[in-house]
Amino acid sequence: MTLTIAHIFPALLSTYGDAGNVAVVRHRAESRGYGVTTLTVLPGEPVPSEADIYVIGGGEDAQELRAVELLRRESGLAVAVRGGAPVLAICAGMQILGEWFTDGSDIRVPGLGLLDLRTERRSARAVGDVIADAIAIPGLPTLIGFENHRGGTSLGADARPLAQVLQGVGNGSGEAVEGAVQGSIIGTYLHGPVLALNPALADHLLAQVVGPLPPMDDTLAEEFRANRFQRAQA
Ligand code: GLN
């Protein structure tokens, strides 16, 4: 079986190595014997509705605005979500999938309305390492990643926080929670890339498409994780 990963607008949205998330999904799928095709969607191109997994990264404010304008004209992602395709949305990507976020002039910019969340500018930028206990997805080990965002995100009733924050800011709207899970969409503020630091999250995305996965040799990934935990907690 060949899996198709749609990588949405890496030319606009791929801060702090977010493009690496696609490489991690690919590697973990190929290690289990699956073929992988990556569709890189360029700004202005249509978003496919038939991909198996969707990945959208974070970005600076100007690129985020450009991306949301283009994506609002597209129905491919909404169709895929209705069909249950897993989506990983990082930082600006998560904000874009929400109901709205505010721009630099505090004007509300409509999002895609696929996640029940709203993002307003915080008084201060949240920057640093985040450590958080996953709550919305059973069986995930503690999550770690790097955040850098000015937006503070509040979740509505249809979205659940991905994780409880132990260190760092996370969504930054009062409660110490991080990210959002709604249906097949996972949103998070974690860069890293998040899937390299938390490969179990990549397997969760894959398992939604192919079912339970056999274990694989994670020696290197575990070393990387341990190193990052050590540095974050120092
Ligand atoms: N521009 C958005 C913010 O600052 C998203 C940042 C990001 O994706 N790193 O909140």
- 96-115 pLDDT per residue, tens: 999 999 999 999 999 999 99
Atom of ligand 1 nearest to the CA of 121: 10
Q: Which residues of 12-33 are buried (b: 16+ CB within 10 A; e: fewer)?
A: bbbbbbbbbbbbbbbbbbeeee
- 199-214 pLDDT per residue, tens: 999 999 999 999 999 9
Q: State the Rg of the chain over Cα.
A: 16
- 35-81 pLDDT per residue, tens: 999 999 999 999 999 999 999 999 999 999 999 999 999 999 999 99
Query: Which pTM does this prediction carry?
Result: 0.98
CB atoms near residue 204 (< 10 Å): 20
Ligand 1 pocket, residue 66 CB under 6 Å: no
Ligand 1 pocket, residue 151 CB under 6 Å: yes
Per-residue pLDDT at 80: 98
The dihedral of CA 75, 184, 159, 19: what is its sign? negative
Q: Which residue has the tokens 């994670």?
A: 218
- 3-15 pLDDT per residue, tens: 999 999 999 999 9
State the burial class of residue 73 (Cβ atoms within 10 Å of its Cβ: 0-12, 13-18, 19+): exposed
Ligand 1 pocket, residue 89 CB under 6 Å: no
User: What is the CATH architecture of 2-233?
Assistant: 3-Layer(aba) Sandwich (3.40)
